[in-house]
Structure 1
Amino acid sequence: MRKRDWFHRGKWMLMAAMATLLLAGCDNRYLVLNPKGPVAETEYRLIVLSAVLCAAVVIPVLALLAFIIYRYRDKPDNKAPYKPDWAHSTTLEVVWWGIPIVIIAILGYFTARTTFALVKPPVTDATPITIQVTSLDWKWLFTYPDQKVATVNYVEIPAGVPVQFVLTSDAPMNSFWVPQLGGQEYTMPGMAMRLWLQADHPGEYFGQGANFTGKGFAHMQFKVIAKPQAEFEAWAQNVRKTAPAMTKEDYTALAKPGLSETRTYSSYPEGLFEEIVKKNGGQEHDHSMNHDGMTHTP
């Protein structure tokens, strides 16, 4: 009877685990495993390598655990040798210290190589663009220094073109993250951080704030809309003709804590991003103030 009860319990536990795994695919948590740009693709390969190296440790350890529990179980006819005075094995010491050292060395090498490889975008024929990002309570402001337009809670980019995001915050620290395009980067008051991303193909990509910032944190989501270069230019031109301009008063109201729908502006106060950085303690000579878009400081 007891075996039957355990069988039914195990069956329901297995079904619950499978349902959890399958239903989890209905949200955005696995987007990081579906890369759509060169940065995300490089980071995805590093994630796979890390998983393989972890599995190389976890699977043998679990297998040894099961073997030891079975082999040395307390049973009258167990033939396992009994060695109460055994205390040291040089071979085992080499194994359980040497293998982790080798794994960490491999993972460290590939992590460092990937990190430095992603500092600058690859050289291509496409002209890169710069987009300034300001995290607010609880919304995202995007300003385009070249196109002279601004958006709230969505950002349009040209597909196949490196985009240099320059990030700051006029609210508590947050983290800018577009899982399918690359890893996250912090937005901090008084600092201008850099993150370059690229969408290989036109499409709509999910973005969000990945750092808890209070009441409206769950709503700090935005869309990244990648379009062909010609369509992106047409969009920017249409915005300049049809959308309202952002004034200093508009920004002051926008910066107040609260939620916001998507918005589009044909212009914004000149030097707004630089003012935000300096207002929160940033220095005037901050290297990220240049609009060349691709210059990185070590």
Structure 2
Amino acid sequence: MRRLRLLLLAPVVALLSACDLVVLRPAGDVAAQQGDLLMISTLLMLLIIVPVMGLTVFFAWKYRASNKEAEYQPDWDHSTSLELVIWAAPLLIIICLGALTWAGTHLLDPYRPIDRIKPGHAVAENVEPLQVNVVALDWKWMFIYPQYGVATVNELAAPVDRPIRFHITSSSVMNSFYIPALAGQIYAMPGMETKLHAVINKPGEYQGFSANYSGDGFSNMRFAFHGLDQAGFDRWIAGVRQGGQPLDRDRYLELEKPSEKVPVLYFGQVDGALWDAILNMCVEPGKMCMGEMMQIDRKGGLSLASVRNTMPLIYDKYAGRGKSPAYFGSNESYVMTICTPLQAEAAAADRMRQSEQQAVATPVSLDRLTGQGVSHKVTPMAALTSNSFAAGPVSTDIRSAPNA
């Protein structure tokens, strides 16, 4: 009979052997503090849960139907001592949990730079944190090291006892960046930047993955995280530089396409403007960046109020919306398209060349030049020589606008 019980327990033992307690025994100080917070909170709650469960069994046993010696009090309805115990104990536990949660929420804020490497060891003032720009792709992870000018796919490394500052974004859908041995998870969202500060205290290889479902290849969206000493990290960086290919916008657009089970890739050179383009969702040539779009919105949006974004003219605040006699004539005007700064510069240069050619070829009559500040007719065309137009074209009819 005893052997049979042991055989029945064997599958349970086998299942428990696969459990990984990395969350409770992590290799990073931030994750360790989070684990301590979890354990302390659990123990505080057990101070109520365990007595309640024990008393439930005790009352059920004592006041069972077969126990004729149990005291029977049908008129009992109140006990001050019992009320104090029932309400005071949970209230004290809640106060302790609240204080613990408030302190932990502020001290372990992922946006807050860490102030210690490990218990009793503060971060030195001259230590520069390692910055890693993280991009969640479909379905792989890209890591850019701006301080070293390299990048990797599905592999991450950091030196032991050096603060790490992660800047995290996504290329398409919301994802979640999580290394249990290092720190808690934080979301990666397209067009937004989240941050995470952490440190690894023990050398080793740890696992990182996505903690938020993001499509078909979600289950394979994993990567290796290497905790190395400083010499080992320097060798790793040198290996990435030697064996890596350049990472520019065209190469990034290829990586951005959905793919699964992507092997580790190294990039020895990285376009310095790539991260800002990824974050502003304008890696594609000719696409407007989010920063430019927000600047247009701040100026008034795609309407008459945004004329100052594209034309160096005085803003007429009294003109009717949808019409601009001062700029585009009496007909209704609409913004049909928006160009990038490079396209606008090229178009302006092209217009300048065309204007110069037109001015030389066809002089413009100034017989009816009128406008604000012009109170009389100017000298007729016949009285001027052709040399008067060498500086460029002049509009034949300048319409005045109300004062701003």
Shift of 1:32: 0.6
Q: Which SS does the other structure have where 1:33 is aligned?
A: coil
Percent identity at matched positions?
A: 35
Contact 2:168 2:193 in 1 (8 A): yes
Structure-2 separation of matches of 1:214 and 1:179: 22
Structure exhibiting the larger radius of gyration computed from Cα positions = 2
The CA RMSD over aligned residues, in Å, is: 2.7
Shift of 1:283: 5.0
Shift of 1:169: 1.0
1:261 aligns with 2:269: no
Contact 2:31 2:180 in 1 (8 A): yes
Contact 1:133 1:142 in 2 (8 A): yes
Q: Which runs of 5+ in 2 are unaligned?
A: 116-122, 283-288, 295-404
Structure-1 separation of matches of 2:169 and 2:202: 27
Residue matched to 1:72? 63
Q: Deviation above 6 Å: which 4+ runs of structure 1? A: none
User: Per the alignment, do residues 36 and 274 of structure 1 end up closer, same or farther by CA in structure 2, a change over 3 Å counting?
Assistant: same
Shift of 1:89: 4.2
TM-score, structure 2 normalization: 0.62
Q: Which SS does the other structure have where 2:173 is aligned?
A: coil
Contact 1:71 1:80 in 2 (8 A): no
User: Per the alignment, do residues 113 and 254 of structure 1 end up closer, same or farther by CA in structure 2, a change over 3 Å counting?
Assistant: same
User: Per the alignment, do residues 188 and 24 of structure 1 end up closer, same or farther by CA in structure 2, a change over 3 Å counting?
Assistant: farther
User: Per the alignment, do residues 215 and 94 of structure 1 end up closer, same or farther by CA in structure 2, a change over 3 Å counting?
Assistant: farther
User: Per the alignment, do residues 211 and 78 of structure 1 end up closer, same or farther by CA in structure 2, a change over 3 Å counting?
Assistant: farther
Q: Which SS does the other structure have where 1:133 is aligned?
A: strand
Question: Comparing both chains, which one has the higher relative contact order based on Cα–Cα distances under 8 Å and sequence gaps of 6 or more?
Answer: 1
Identify the match of residue 15 of structure 1 among 9, 20, 30. Answer: 9
Structure-1 separation of matches of 2:187 and 2:89: 34
1:275 aligns with 2:268: no
Contact 2:174 2:190 in 1 (8 A): yes
Contact 1:150 1:264 in 2 (8 A): yes
Residue matched to 1:26? 18
Contact 1:126 1:160 in 2 (8 A): no
Residue matched to 2:36? 45
Letter in 2 for 1:121: I
Letter in 2 for 1:23: L
- Is 231-240 or 262-271 further displaced after alignment? 231-240
Structure-1 separation of matches of 2:51 and 2:291: 53
Structure-2 separation of matches of 1:172 and 1:91: 56
Structure-1 separation of matches of 2:54 and 2:248: 65
1:125-175 Cα distance to aligned partner (Å, 9 max, x none): 532110011111211110111111111111111111000011111122111
Structure-1 separation of matches of 2:48 and 2:222: 37
- Is 47-56 or 121-130 further displaced after alignment? 121-130
The aligned runs of 1:180-219 (5 Å cut-off) are: 180-219=181-220
Structure-1 separation of matches of 2:232 and 2:67: 79
User: Per the alignment, do residues 98 and 21 of structure 1 end up closer, same or farther by CA in structure 2, a change over 3 Å counting?
Assistant: farther
Q: Which runs of 5+ in 1 are unaligned?
A: 287-298
1:188-243 Cα distance to aligned partner (Å, 9 max, x none): 12211111111112211111111112221111111111211122123223322331
User: Per the alignment, do residues 103 and 133 of structure 1 end up closer, same or farther by CA in structure 2, a change over 3 Å counting?
Assistant: same
Structure-2 separation of matches of 1:27 and 1:71: 39
User: Per the alignment, do residues 60 and 274 of structure 1 end up closer, same or farther by CA in structure 2, a change over 3 Å counting?
Assistant: same
Shift of 1:25: 3.6
How many residue pairs get matched? 275
Residue matched to 1:109? 99
Structure-1 separation of matches of 2:178 and 2:229: 22
User: Per the alignment, do residues 273 and 96 of structure 1 end up closer, same or farther by CA in structure 2, a change over 3 Å counting?
Assistant: farther
Residue matched to 2:321? none
Shift of 1:263: 0.9
TM-score, structure 1 normalization: 0.82
Structure-2 separation of matches of 1:42 and 1:34: 10
Shift of 1:69: 1.0
1:13-57 Cα distance to aligned partner (Å, 9 max, x none): 9726xx4355334254x2111111211121121121012112212
1:80-129 Cα distance to aligned partner (Å, 9 max, x none): 3142x544444444333332222122122122222322322123253211
Structure-2 separation of matches of 1:171 and 1:138: 10
Shift of 1:282: 6.0
- Is 73-82 or 265-274 further displaced after alignment? 73-82
Structure-1 separation of matches of 2:13 and 2:86: 33
Structure-2 separation of matches of 1:110 and 1:76: 45
User: Per the alignment, do residues 154 and 59 of structure 1 end up closer, same or farther by CA in structure 2, a change over 3 Å counting?
Assistant: same
User: Per the alignment, do residues 215 and 90 of structure 1 end up closer, same or farther by CA in structure 2, a change over 3 Å counting?
Assistant: farther
